[in-house]
């Protein structure tokens, strides 16, 4: 895999690959994506093959920044808004106007333009406008929407740098455009019409807090469905380090933590400095390595560093097992997203 800085030449190379029904890794503000022509079965099948992704897991369609209105999406043949109850359509359109470009994906009825491979055969399809100049420039050059899942092997940790993409897909992808580290660091929040069709529902917690969305709409959003068959692609196990990861209860007691601290070859991840007693850490002789994500309760910052930190701990050869202690995590604005990713990462 070649990693190229964005230049007119590298954009041209990427566009040519896409036009020839190939796949290219591209930065977004959330995580790196693996892009292909969203209208073309053959191109999309290459995404599933490279990622080892089950064909039942649908993709997100990435749109140019001047496609912020749902009407435009309908005019271009990508959705059909008729089946959406009017009031919910208005809410979805308000979300698009307000939060696109940004880390929000909206699930809409599928129009005839998109390949059925992208929607994994479902009657709905997820869309978003990525807030990244490199992705937007690529969309301009390609002149048509691009389907893009995260650029990692299925179930593994999503990449937030071009080097991460290389470590995941080195032999599966020809080119990665390098846009530096992703600012948001976790995937987009996914919202659509609820399964009971009475309101809107969060299908995946992500980089945009569901509370921010609720405040903006002045309406409650239903929580993600628990039943896997109702939420395609929401695998229980995901984002998982190769070493085992154990998620400790937020209310774990100090005795339990002290025992871990005295055990060698263990990595303990905590969110805020000071949550593990400094005296305990200093008293460790050959015990656990403690990693702190932040020195303040900053959900945005914690999300932006989460995957990077998990990857670092996963590749630290002195560590055999990883633990996370989400003590006081509800102090973080994006706690629902953090807990969601940690609990999937901790599934064996
Ligand atoms: O931030 C992001 O969303 C990143 C960047 C690259 O844009 N993309 C991403 O894609 O996270 P991916 O493929 O890793 O996750 C897409 C998820 C699917 O696993 C599924 O849970 C959900 O989106 N999804 C897609 N289409 C859906 C649909 N029609 N109904 C329900 N869920 C859907
Ligand atoms: Mg993914």
Ligand 1 lined by 61 (C-beta under 6 Å): no
Question: Which residues have a Cβ under 8 Å from the Cβ of 87 and sit 6 or more positions away?
Answer: none
- Closest ligand 1 atom to Cα of 130: 7
Nearest CA to ligand 1 atom 19: 233
pLDDT in tens, 285-327: 668 899 988 877 889 999 999 999 999 999 999 999 999 999 9
pLDDT in tens, 62-103: 999 999 889 999 999 999 999 999 999 999 999 999 999 999
d(CA 289, CA 265): 8
What is the residue whose two structure tokens read 């069709």? 197
Residue 37 tokens, joined: 């022509």
What is the residue whose two structure tokens read 């709409």? 217
Residue 286 tokens, joined: 């050959």
Nearest CA to ligand 1 atom 13: 149
State in Å: Cα 150 to ligand 2 middle. 4
Strands 200-204 and 33-37, by their bridges, are unpaired
Neighbours of ion ligand 2 (CB under 5 A): 150
Local confidence band at 280 (pLDDT 50, 70, 90 cut-offs)? low
pTM for this predicted structure? 0.95
What phi and psi values does residue 66 have, to the nearest 5 degrees?
Answer: -90, 15
Q: Quick one: which ligand is closest to 240's CA?
A: 2
Measure Cα distances from 79 to 108, 124, 126, 313 in Å. Answer: 7, 9, 10, 42
Ligand 1 lined by 119 (C-beta under 6 Å): yes
Helix axes 335-345, 299-315, angle to 10 degrees: 20
């Amino acid at each position: 895999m070649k990693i190229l800085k964005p230049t007119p030449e590298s954009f041209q190379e990427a566009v040519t690959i896409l036009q020839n029904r190939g796949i290219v890794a591209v930065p977004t503000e959330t995580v790196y994506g693996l892009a292909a022509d969203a209208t073309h079965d053959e191109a999309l099948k290459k995404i599933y093959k490279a990622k080892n992704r089950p064909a039942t897991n649908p993709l997100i369609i990435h749109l140019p920044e001047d496609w912020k209105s749902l009407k435009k999406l309908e005019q271009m043949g990508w959705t059909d808004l008729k089946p959406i109850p009017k009031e919910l359509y208005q809410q979805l359109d308000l979300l698009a106007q307000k939060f696109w470009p940004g880390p929000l994906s909206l699930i809409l009825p599928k129009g005839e333009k998109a390949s059925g491979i992208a929607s994994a055969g479902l009657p709905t399809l997820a869309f978003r406008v990525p807030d990244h100049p490199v992705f937007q420039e690529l969309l301009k050059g390609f002149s048509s929407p691009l389907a893009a899942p995260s650029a990692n092997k299925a179930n593994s940790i999503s990449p937030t740098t071009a080097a991460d993409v290389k470590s995941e897909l080195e032999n599966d992808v020809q080119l990665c455009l390098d846009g530096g580290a992703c600012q948001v660091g976790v995937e987009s929040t996914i919202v659509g019409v609820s399964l009971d069709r009475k309101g809107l529902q969060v299908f995946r917690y992500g980089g945009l807090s569901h509370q921010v969305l609720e405040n903006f709409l002045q309406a409650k959003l239903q929580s993600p469905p628990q039943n896997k068959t109702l939420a395609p692609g929401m695998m229980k196990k995901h984002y998982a380090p190769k070493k085992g990861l154990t998620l400790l209860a937020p209310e774990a007691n100090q005795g339990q933590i002290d025992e871990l601290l005295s055990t060698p070859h263990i990595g303990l991840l905590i969110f805020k400095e000071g949550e593990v007693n400094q005296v305990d850490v200093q008293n460790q002789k050959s015990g656990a390595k403690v990693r702190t994500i932040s020195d303040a309760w900053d959900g945005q910052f914690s999300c932006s560093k989460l995957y990077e930190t998990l990857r670092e701990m996963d590749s630290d050869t002195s560590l055999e097992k990883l633990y996370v202690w989400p003590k006081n995590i509800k102090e973080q604005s994006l706690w629902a997203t953090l807990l969601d990713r940690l609990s999937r990462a901790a599934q064996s």
